[in-house]
Amino acid sequence: MPRNYKRTTNRQSWSQESMQKAIEAVREKRMGWLLAAKTYGVPQATLRRHGLNKNKTSWKLGLFGLTSKEVQELAFQLANKNGFAHKFNIDKQKAGQEWLNGFLKRNRDISLRKPEATSAARAQAFNRPQVEKFFNTYDGLLACHKYAPNRIYNVDESGLSTVQRPPKILATTGRKQVGCLTSAERGSNVTVVCCFNAAGSYIPPCMIFLRKNMKQELVDEAPTGTPGVAQESGWMTTDSYVKASVEDKVLLIVDGHGSHKGFQVLNYAKENGIDILCLPPHCTHRMQPLDVWFYGPLKTYFNQEISKWLKSHPGRVVTHLQIGSLFNHAYGETATVQNACNGFKNTGLWPLNPHIFPDHMYEPAETTNIPLPNEDFHRFLETTPPETVVPISNEELQVSEAPQESTLETDKVNDNEISGPSTSLSFPVEILSPAPQGQFISGQENSGKPF
């Protein structure tokens, strides 16, 4: 197909504005389908399809998208399979670039996007049972303690590097290589701990430096009230986390990092009336307000500040001495009331919205949407006659070694050590520890074998 292809038909010669006006006329019951199509010069069948939202393309590919090349090859295969006349490249066995451009132009709800790398652990862990369990716990805390928005906090840490990620720049067409100055090949990280609440208020951030002894000049130009901490690892530990925590009685939402659940942290929280709620594992990219709405813009502004500094100071590089000042400018641009409120709103934490996540976000984890073991156990007890299940004391639980039956039974312990009535409990072991089973997904072949 030639690069200067010109249309030879007048199909789809109507404008989007005419189509929108026709749809509004039908929805407001001012015209019928036929009259609206004639009045605004749009095809009746197309008007019905758009008006009934039947023109949307549903792509349920999970985390396995199609590249431009794969779409062009698929178009070639479909044309040959259905016997359609085409002018596609037979040698390359794919459709041309003009066809792809026309396809994207006809289907406005499809666009070429750069995907975000998502690990298999995150894809499988973000499933409905885990999310529903967290929101049930969270809803119970809100109902019990009546937390106001200014008492619901989220705290998390992230790393800032002295080597920025260069933005796109304008350059001469045809140049093979376009460079951008950075401070080094590999940068040195500084950990920042940020905290805000659902009302939009911020607590001064904390900066953790990779060093043994702390120097005050490292945070002289940091945001007002920012404490500096020296750590040999350069990362968040239990000791530094206690120093960065809030002191008022609040609900603190954190991820599952070990530094957030240490003994010192829990003891400090208990003494100061802080309730700690941990997010499900590998779900922070969807459910943590700081990760969803704050750290992305913060690092973008920080990279821009590094680029400005390098232009203003030729011949010099960014070190830990400049991190505080650069972070101050970036933090000032990012730490807005709107960003904090949007972070809690878009994760469903405030206002409470357990159904904030659409169905397509759960598609990669369909095979892990299995009921939790305790739910199966309680369901077994509810559906089993009382005479077949006898209560059991903690002192008398012992696993039977009988090979012929897969059951749990109790036996009396030595009378000299523990005395008490003899009881028994008998039910399948699969109820206590069920084997994980995946759900059938549309498009998979059912082999009849369990996963």
Backbone angle region of 273, left / alpha / beta, with phi > 0 → left and psi within -120 to 50 → alpha: left
Quick one: pLDDT at residue 108? 80
Q: Are residues 125 and 40 in the same domain?
A: no
Quick one: pLDDT at residue 218? 93
Percent of the chain with pLDDT over 90: 46
**Is 303 a member of any domain?**
yes
Q: Are residues 217 and 347 in the same domain?
A: yes
User: Any bridge partners for residue 409, and if so which?
Assistant: 398
Tokens of 122: 């995150």
Find the domain containing 302 and state its range: 121-165+185-365
Q: Are residues 244 and 360 in the same domain?
A: yes
Quick one: pLDDT at residue 22? 92
Domain final residue, candidates 302, 330, 365: 365
| 3-class secondary-structure state, position 407 | strand
Condensed to tens digits (0 to 9), the pLDDT of residues 274-303 reads 899 999 999 999 999 999 999 999 999 999
Least confident range of 37-51, 53-67, 121-135, 167-181: 53-67
**Is 293 a member of any domain?**
yes
Domain final residue, candidates 365, 382, 410: 365
Residue with the larger pLDDT of the pair 235 and 309: 309
Task: Please name which of 59, 68, 61 lies closest in space to residue 123, comparing C-alpha atoms.
Answer: 61
Quick one: pLDDT at residue 420? 42
Condensed to tens digits (0 to 9), the pLDDT of residues 157-214 reads 999 999 998 888 888 888 878 888 898 988 889 999 999 999 999 999 999 999 989 9
Angle at 297 between CA 294 and CA 303, to 5 degrees: 135
User: Any bridge partners for residue 208, and if so which?
Assistant: 191, 229
Q: Are residues 126 and 214 in the same domain?
A: yes
Quick one: pLDDT at residue 397? 39
**Could you give the number of structural domains in the chain?**
2
The long-range contacts involving 45-52, CB below 8 angstroms and separated by at least 24 positions, are 46/14, 46/19, 47/19, 47/22, 47/23, 50/19, 50/23, 51/22, 51/23, 51/26, 51/27
Q: How far apart are CA 360 and CA 109, in angstroms?
A: 15
CATH number at residue 207: 3.30.420
**Is 278 a member of any domain?**
yes
The DSSP output letter for 387 is G
Condensed to tens digits (0 to 9), the pLDDT of residues 211-243 reads 989 999 999 999 999 999 998 877 777 666 655
**Is 258 a member of any domain?**
yes
Quick one: pLDDT at residue 186? 86
Domain final residue, candidates 332, 365, 398: 365
Q: How far apart are CA 343 and CA 198, in angstroms?
A: 8
Q: Are residues 142 and 33 in the same domain?
A: no
Q: Are residues 48 and 189 in the same domain?
A: no
| pTM for this predicted structure | 0.66
Q: Are residues 45 and 189 in the same domain?
A: no
**Is 285 a member of any domain?**
yes
Q: Are residues 199 and 302 in the same domain?
A: yes
Res 341 pLDDT > 60: yes
Rounded to an integer, the average pLDDT of 124-138 is 90
Residue written as tokens 């892990």?
A: 368
Residue with the larger pLDDT of the pair 218 and 428: 218
**Is 189 a member of any domain?**
yes
Tokens of 446: 């059912």
**Is 59 a member of any domain?**
no
Q: Are residues 145 and 262 in the same domain?
A: yes
Q: Are residues 319 and 240 in the same domain?
A: yes
Residue 237 has a CB neighbour count (10 Å cut-off) of 17
Single-letter code of the amino acid located at 111: S
Q: How far apart are CA 298 and CA 328, in angstroms?
A: 10
Q: At what angle do helices 33-40 and 44-51 cross, to 10 degrees?
A: 110
